[in-house]
């Protein structure tokens, strides 16, 4: 009987110890998260990273702590700076975003992580990877217009860069027609860009179906149709239709902006 009582007492004390230790860990993590967010809001990225890492050390399975740490690394990363230590920041952010997805304990956290990865990949000029990551975000929440919008942005940007490079080689002015100057080059640009623009317009249309007041998506619809108009090489009617669509989207965006700013 005494042994049984002793066993029960020891077991109770052990459970109490575990509960106390878990509570202490939880309090430590919460304090570190608070300190980390304060540092992040002040632009003290290294300090924020240190606090968030301590929080994760205390509670490594908490996806929101990994999100916070990923955000700190992402904000410290400087797009366009091709230095090893800078690239490492983006990679560390992506690693922690991926940890959130791998843990798979929160759909909303996984969505934020997928979009975080995609955005960083785009900033690193990894456009194909970025579109795949935005595709994963679509799967997580098909009603979120942002992934559709950003795929449209990437496609329009890629098309624009190549077209402008080819126009620059021909010394064309903005008002000059690519088709009139060099039909062969126009056909080459069309062959490379038409797929991007079709995918981009489809995704922007989907973003606007989900959010009819998405002004940024309207702006990129305007740009996409302008891009496509310039590569309607042997079809003047299609060029005219695309220019009209571009103008219509520009007017829609301007009108909506005015409505939003009017008291």
The pLDDT value given to residue 32: 85
Residues 108 and 173 in one domain: no
In a domain, 189, yes or no: yes
**121: containing domain:** 40-129
Residue finishing a domain among 129, 160, 175: 129
pTM of the model: 0.86
The pair of structure tokens assigned to 35 is: 């300190």
Residues 159 and 88 grouped into a single domain: no
Q: Give Cβ neighbours of residue 20 (< 8 Å, ≥ 6 apart).
A: none
| Integer CA distances (angstroms), 244 to 10, 173, 204, 223, 241, in order | 81, 21, 17, 12, 5
**pLDDT at residue number 3:** 53
- Quick one: pLDDT at residue 33? 87
> Where is the domain boundary, 63, 94, 129?
129
Domain count, the chain: 2
Q: Which of 111, 129, 119, 107 is nearest to 74 (CA)?
A: 119
pLDDT in tens, 48-83: 999 999 999 988 899 999 999 999 999 999 999 999
Is 3 a member of any domain? no
Residues 263 and 159 in one domain: yes
Same domain, 118 and 148: no
| Pair (182, 255) in one structural domain | yes
Q: Check residue 220 and give its pLDDT.
A: 98
Say yes or no: 153 and 263 in one domain: yes
Regarding whether 165 and 107 lie in a shared domain, the answer is no
**What is the DSSP-derived secondary structure letter of residue 121?**
H
178 and 262 together in one domain? yes
Question: Does 108 share its domain with 182?
Answer: no
pLDDT for res 215: 97
Instruction: Note whether residue 242 is domain-resident.
Output: yes
pLDDT of res. 67: 95
Beta-carbon-side half-sphere exposure of residue 226 (alpha carbons within 13 Å): 17
Res 144: pLDDT: 98
Task: Tell me whether residue 23 is in a domain.
Answer: no
Which residues in the chain land under pLDDT 70? Answer: 1-27, 263
The answer on 114 and 147 residing in a single domain is no
CA dihedral angle for residue 56, residue 62, residue 64, residue 66, rounded to 10 degrees: 40
**CATH code at 82?**
1.25.40.10
Indicate whether 67 belongs to any domain.
yes
DSSP 8-state code for residue 174: T
165 in the same domain as 120: no
Residues 212, 240, single domain; the answer is: yes
């Amino acid at each position: 009987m005494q042994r049984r009582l002793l066993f029960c007492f020891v077991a109770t004390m052990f459970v109490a110890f575990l509960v106390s230790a878990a509570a202490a860990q939880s309090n430590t993590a919460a304090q570190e998260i608070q300190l980390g967010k304060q540092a992040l809001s002040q632009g003290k990225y290294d300090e924020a990273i240190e606090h968030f890492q301590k929080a994760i050390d205390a509670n490594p399975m908490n996806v929101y702590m990994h999100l916070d740490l990923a955000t700190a690394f992402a904000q410290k990363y400087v797009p366009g700076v091709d230095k090893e230590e800078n690239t490492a920041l983006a990679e560390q952010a992506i690693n922690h975003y991926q940890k959130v997805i791998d843990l798979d304990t929160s759909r909303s956290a996984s969505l934020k992580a997928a979009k975080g990865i995609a955005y960083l990949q785009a900033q690193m000029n990894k456009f194909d990877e970025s579109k795949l990551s935005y595709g994963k975000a679509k799967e997580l929440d098909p009603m979120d217009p942002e992934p559709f919008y950003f795929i449209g942005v990437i496609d329009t940007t890629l098309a624009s860069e190549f077209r402008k490079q080819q126009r620059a080689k021909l010394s064309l002015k903005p008002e000059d027609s690519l088709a009139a100057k060099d039909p062969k080059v126009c056909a080459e640009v069309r062959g490379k860009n038409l797929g991007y623009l079709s995918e981009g317009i489809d995704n922007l249309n989907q973003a606007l179906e989900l959010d009819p007041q998405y002004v940024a998506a309207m702006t990129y619809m305007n740009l996409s149709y302008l891009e496509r108009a310039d590569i309607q090489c042997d079809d003047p009617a299609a060029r005219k239709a695309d220019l009209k669509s571009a103008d219509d989207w520009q007017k829609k965006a301007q009108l909506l902006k005015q409505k939003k700013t009017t008291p």
